[in-house]
Structure 1
Amino acid sequence: MKLTGNDHFIPQFSSTELSVEQEFIINKTLLTHEADGCRHVDCKILFQAMESVMFYASKHTNWKSAVDARILGSIESFDSKETLRHTILKMSHAILCECHNTMDIHTRTLVLLEMLGNYRWDAKVILILTAFSISYGEFRLILEVYSHNLLAASLAALKNLCGRNLEGLRPQFKAMEMVVKEMMELAKCVVRFEGLPLEEIVLYDDHDRTLMAAAKSQIYLATYWIFRSSLISASQITDLIATKQENSSITANAAWGLSSLALRLSRLCSCLRMLVDAAQDQIEQKVYKKLMNLVKDQTQVDNQQVLHLFFSLNDDLPLKDSSSQAKVGISRLKHKVVMLLVSKPDLLPIDQTLLLLQQTKEHPHNKSIEQDYEIVWVPSSETWTLDEHMGFDYLSNSLPWLSVRQPWLLNSAVVRMIREEWKFEEDPLMVVLDSVGVASNYNAIDMVLIWGPKAFPFSNSREKELWELEEPWNLQLMFDGIDHFLTKTMVKADENICICGTSNLDWINEFESRIEKLRNVGLQLRVIYVGSRNANETTRTTLAVVNKDNSLTPTKIRLFWLRLERIRDSILRVGRTQTFPNYETLLKQVSELLETDDRNNNWAIFGCGSSKDFVKLEGNKIMEFFDRFPIWAERVAGLGFVGAIRSVDDAVNLTAACDHTAVVPYDEGMVRGTMVCDKCKRTMKPYVGYQCDGSKLNVSS
């Protein structure tokens, strides 16, 4: 088997031209492999656990990973008649048995390979290394601690390790550590290659086919040498235990043999790594290009092809239903709008998670559309540490959405699309695929948090449409989705409402005292305290007490501020491409509220539950509002609650002149009323005008 041609994708090494010995090893290794193509294990998690043991055994002080039993217990083994734990223990015992076998090392290596013949190549190397790590880790642990640990001392005595000259064995240990390191690097290459979706990609030309053939040959060689090196290393451990006294000549020969083996593994690893890099780049480019075309192809009949590339390249049941813990295939998503919630493994900040739950699963109107869409949580991480595995395992079992079962197995082209095309970095986003798999919105999270089910089908065009339909800034828009019952009662009862924001506890007490005096003289006014975005725990506790009649808990207050931020972000995003009728008014009102909070100013908004009109007072103006109660209270009947407050607000009445007019048709018996200017919000003066009605002809018979 030779590599020919000068294709730039194929590294040109002398080592890629296989020798007769290598051809022989490959053929013998392939004979041990029963290619059913299905028996495999979750290699990435098991590799992390094995790697942790190997590095600690080799005393790598910078190694900080930890193995958690819950994570190891969740490692899956597919189509195997025995448990993963039993397979590992069986291989560990087999290695020890083969160490005492009198056959040559090549034959004993093939015996071990045959025992894992039904497994995929990545599973073979991870299982044999895990089995070896058990005896290697135990051996190094006893040697390190037996001098000050009674249990280890007893085991050392039984294993004939007491009183050994560790310093004299240091060259042999160092050489064995080099072999272990190279075996793990080689195994990483095998795992990477086996994770590539080779069956999904058409190899169009000879360059592709030659590259894949060369890589596969090196995979077979790597697998053989990992098995052989594990057996050689284990044999040296058993020899050390069996030897009663150190012999410098034997130790030197053993160290030299291991060093030579480490060098062979290193050369093999360099060649394989570059071939796998090239193969991965080729396949990733093809998958990425195919994905990019599909998410824009509106001629598809459904979303299954897109979702298959996203999730099912390595798993036919790639999703998990947290409510039933059932494995789910992509067929469940057929003809549905699919919302891909992309975030770090720890999901969203708690406030956003609560609001998202409230605006989807717990929203009273969700029942009408819940069969038409699905949310799929897609955690993304560059490292996938064991801590991230644990966090994902907990959250994916708790959330009411589907989640990717093994997000660390997502194809690199998918991860690249998430980070490059969808611009995912730190903040979570929600990408919407319509019923045929076309991307209709690259971040719908704001519109979901603002409108909930009303935003269906969550496309960009729907977000613009919602803002065009949205009425001017009002109390309902501020609170809708935070507390559905409170919002409904405010609007239905058409109550006088005051929304009060501050982080000053003394000011809250003063405000509450003033309000109580107004209530005592007959003013009906519901006050809701929303604090500030950065309120401390003491302020939150006080707010919970004064809001006891409004059911606005500290959590809902945090959601209120989050909602305002999302409203602003959504308005700005839609406004970048095209403004809508209320764009300037809405943006001004929400921005002013957030900026007032940033300045730590006290503020209050007065309005009615169903009214589109309200007045905002800030700082000293609020206390002037209380002081002038006798004046504006008399005007409520004629001007309304908000109009009466505005009529005594000097800050409003001293603004620039306004000449806005409004024409009201005259009806017979019309009672003189009061109108408020749509622009400056001041009370309008009445004028009488006459219009000739000469267009009507009165023709008598």
Structure 2
Amino acid sequence: MASSHPRQLAAIPPSKMQQRRQRKMFSTSDDTAMMKQVQATHAPDGREVDVRPVLQIIEEILIHVIARTVDGDVDGKTEQVDSMQKAAVFAELDMLDSLAFVIHKISCELSYKCLGGGDAHATTMGILNMLSSYSWHAKVVLTLSALAVNFGEFWLVAQLGATNTLAKSVALLKQLPDLVENHAHLKQQFDALIKLVKAILDVINCIVEFTELPTEYISEDTPPMSVVSAHIPVAAYWTIRSIVACASQIASLVGLRNEYGSAATEAWELSSLAHKMSSIQEHLQNQLAICYQYIDEKRHIEAFRNLVRLFETAHIDNLKILRALIYAKEDPPPLVDGSTKTRVSLEVLRRKHVLLLISDLDLSQEEIIILDNLYKDARSRSETHYEMVWIPVLDAAAWNEFGRQKFEHLRALMPWYSGRLSSPNALHMYWIWGNLAFPFTREKEESLWKSEIWSLELLVDGIDPTVIEWMAVESKHICLYGGEDLEWIQTFTTTAMGVARANNITLEMVYVGKNNAKERMQRMINTFANKKFSYFWPNVTSIWFFWTRLESMLYSKLQHGKTVESDQIMSEVMTVLSFDGSDQGWAIFWKGGHEMARAKGDTALKCLSEFENWKESAIRDGFIPAMNEYLKQLHTPHHCNRLILPGSTGGIPEKVVCAECGRAMEKYFMYRCCVE
């Protein structure tokens, strides 16, 4: 049933919710008895295999060479030779010698069983038995290596047949298709094949990444890793089974001339496996994010305890504490001597009393003058001799040309030492992750982003625990909406709740307001309190924090050189900000933390008003997928989107794409003066 206001629910930690979702996925998609057979094949003998160099060679073969050729470069020319050579150098000869035989055995197994039309499950189990003494991550990498060998040999002979006599003769004996002549006919099959190969590589990289987690912070018996241990065999089985499907597809091309009738069916089978692999990768990635969060928390606790221990311990030498606080490498030296304007190492502070001045760039000249006088007075008295170090901590907004000049000006006024910049992005990090961002370094920020995916939890984390509790209920749908058009809000909320009640859809609606409109938002809060449109945040601070975190995410991504094409989080953040820049409302519907449908106000309202048109799809496919499909039908080329970014925030993105059509938006400078 739909509800128009939040109910008090027992809090379920996000990690437990994600684990439950993953258990459901793996248990319902894989037969328990079959998984027992898979586990029974696993008898590792402790041998270590360095799989990263092998993976690099595999990616060069399957992705950088073959996949690019499938996209249209049928001449087979490649500029990847240097990286291939580097990969071969990285892979130690002894290691390759020891693996070559087993890779050849798997290659033969794939060729023999797939040419004979063998059962995919039986072939998969045969390979697992062959690799019983290897770890799970080595099993999948070795099997993919065998596929790369088969696919690579096929590709070399097939594409060189037109220009090389030997290759042409071998191609004739094998009856391989002419890639140039049959490019159009084979494209659908190769596209599906490459899509599955990429999905396989994504899963394998996840599996390998688990083995590379620092064991000093996370062990196999800790809850995050113990959950992973149950998932990895399932992922390994379906990875190898998908590789078998790829090998069968390649084998089917032997002797092929004009037999393209089954191409669509085979492509559909590969696409189905690619979808399954993508689902497995998503669940493993979620678990990986939990592991990274666990590691970060352990490191945070360790760093804090180390600092506490350092401060509680008497030291003859103060450098141990200073190095822990400043966290600076000695190349280049981290300090600048204010009197000589030269760089110096921390050694100049050894066995001295040190005062740390930690601030942003908003130090007034009066403050500096007073500090200067006190500092000079102290240096003239032997009994109060100490050194002073200024450590500027800035957010990204302040670090532009003006900020750099201000920093240099302030440093020139100071006769004492100044430290190297601790973080140019500390404030944005603090808004996004709070204390988890400590010690606010670029490396820490990169680590945190690595463990994040676009989700409802990322949007509302630290703002409203009620929404996090709703996410724990699998049947519950959550709608975040914004804007300040009261007529649209009333119609939209009434329509949405009506659709939910009539169709037994559990729906919670959350009003998140509008950016940079504090006084207007206070009036909206008062109106919501009287009209009871939906659940809302009862204070302006929560609304401000929601939009500030979104802007912080955007500028953090910009600082790391991300683009909308390469980074989903940045793309989605820009979409929400462009929704807010329009004159109408907008809505994002979520189920769980990741399933999402979004639209601007009029389109969202029209979609819900015409629910009867897509009701059957919603029953069959689910509410969110059906809504997404219907929103595509409602899309029109006529629209006008704006993205308004505060000028004080620092970097401006070089490219912004339209939330409606994906085209690059025209760039203008917009100045706003909003009188409340």
- TM bucket normalised to smaller: 0.3 to 0.5
**Structure with max Cα Rg:** 1
* Bigger relative contact order (CA 8 A; separation at least 6): 2
**Please, what TM-score do these two structures have when normalized by structure 1?**
0.41
Greater percentage in helix: 2
**Please, what TM-score do these two structures have when normalized by structure 2?**
0.42
